[in-house]
Amino acid sequence: MSLSRFLIKRSLQGLFVIWGVITVVFGLRFISPGDPANVLLPPDVDPEVRAQVIAELGLNEPLYVQYWEFISGIPFGDLGLSLVTRTPVSARVVARLPATLELAIAATVVAVVIAIPLGVLSATRRHEPADYGATVFSLVGISTPNFWLGVMLILVLAVQLDAFPTSQRPIGLDGIAVLLAGGDVGAAIRGFGTWLWHITLPAITLGTYFTALITRLTRSGMLDQLGQTYVRATRAKGLPETLVRYKHALRNTLIPVITVIGLQLGTLIGGAVITEAVFAWPGLGSLIINSINARDWPVLQGSLIVVAVGFVLVNILVDALYAYVNPQVAYD
Amino acid sequence: MVAMAIFAPFISPYSPSQQDLDNARQPPLGFSTTETREVTQMENGSVVIEDGQVVTETQTVYTNATLAHPLGTDGNGRDILSRIIYGARTSILVGLFGTSLAALIGVLVGLSAGFYRGRVDDVLMRSADIMLAFPSLVLAIALVGVWGQAQAPIPDPFVATGLAPAFRSAVGLPTGMPGTIVLPGTVIVVVALVNWVWFARVARGEALSIREEEYVKAAKALGASDGRTVLRHVLPNAITPILVLATIQVAAIILLESALSFLGFSGADVSWGFDIALGRQYQSTAWWISTMPGLAIVVTVIGLNLVGDWLRDALDPGIEGEGGV
Q: What is the Rg, in whole angstroms, of the alpha carbon atoms belonging to chain A?
A: 24
Q: Do B298 and A140 touch (CB under 8 A)?
A: yes
Give residue limits of the domains in chain A: 90-282
**Of A75, A81, A103, A68, nearest to A36 (Cα)?**
A81
Tally of CB atoms within 10 A around A230: 12
Confidence band (pLDDT; 50, 70, 90) for A268? confident
Average pLDDT over residues A129-133: 83
CA gap A202, A149 in Å, rounded = 10
Per the confidence metrics, is the pTM higher than 0.90?
Answer: no
8 A C-beta contact, residue A74 and residue A22: yes
Q: Would you put residue B163 in left (φ > 0), alpha (ψ -120 to 50) or beta?
A: alpha
Q: Which fold has domain A90-282?
A: MetI-like fold (1.10.3720)
Neighbouring C-alpha atoms within 13 Å toward the C-beta of A255: 15
Beta strands in A208-263 (DSSP E): none
Cβ-based contacts of A309 with chain B (< 8 Å)? 133
Q: What is the pLDDT of residue A1?
A: 58
Question: Which domains, from first to last, does chain B contain?
Answer: 2-26+70-315 (1.10.3720.10), 31-64 (no CATH)
Question: Nearest to residue A266, comparing CAs of B269, B151, B129, B314?
Answer: B129
Residue B317 has pLDDT above 60, yes or no: no
Give the whole-angstrom CA distance, residue A279 versus residue A165. Answer: 9
A180 Cα to chain B: minimum distance (Å): 35
Supply φ then ψ for residue A302, to 5 degrees. Answer: -60, -45
Contact B135 A300 (CB under 8 A): no
Q: Do B145 and A292 touch (CB under 8 A)?
A: yes
The residues that bridge with B58 in the sheet, in sequence order, are B38
What's the angle, vertex CA B320, arms to CA B315 and CA B325, rounded to 5?
A: 90
β B180-183/B46-47 pair status? unpaired
Model pLDDT for residues B244-272, shown as the tens digit of each residue: 888 888 888 888 888 888 887 776 677 88
Alpha-carbon gap, residue B167 to B175, rounded angstroms: 9
Q: For residues A149-177, give the mean pLDDT.
A: 76
Please, are residues A88 and A81 in contact by the beta-carbon 8 Å criterion? yes
- Contacts of residue A31, defined as CB under 8 A and 6 or more positions apart, other chains included, come to B146, B147
B80 and B289 Cβ atoms separated by less than 8 Å: yes
Ramachandran region of residue B314, left (φ > 0), alpha (ψ -120 to 50) or beta? alpha
- A2 Cβ partners below 8 Å, 6+ apart? A331
Q: Which residues of A touch B129 (CB under 8 A)?
A: 13, 17, 20
Q: Using the predicted structure, report yes or no on whether residue B214 has a pLDDT greater than 50.
A: yes
Q: Do B134 and A266 touch (CB under 8 A)?
A: yes
Evaluate if residue B157 carries a pLDDT over 80.
no
Nearest Cα residue to A105 out of A202, A219, A213, A218: A202
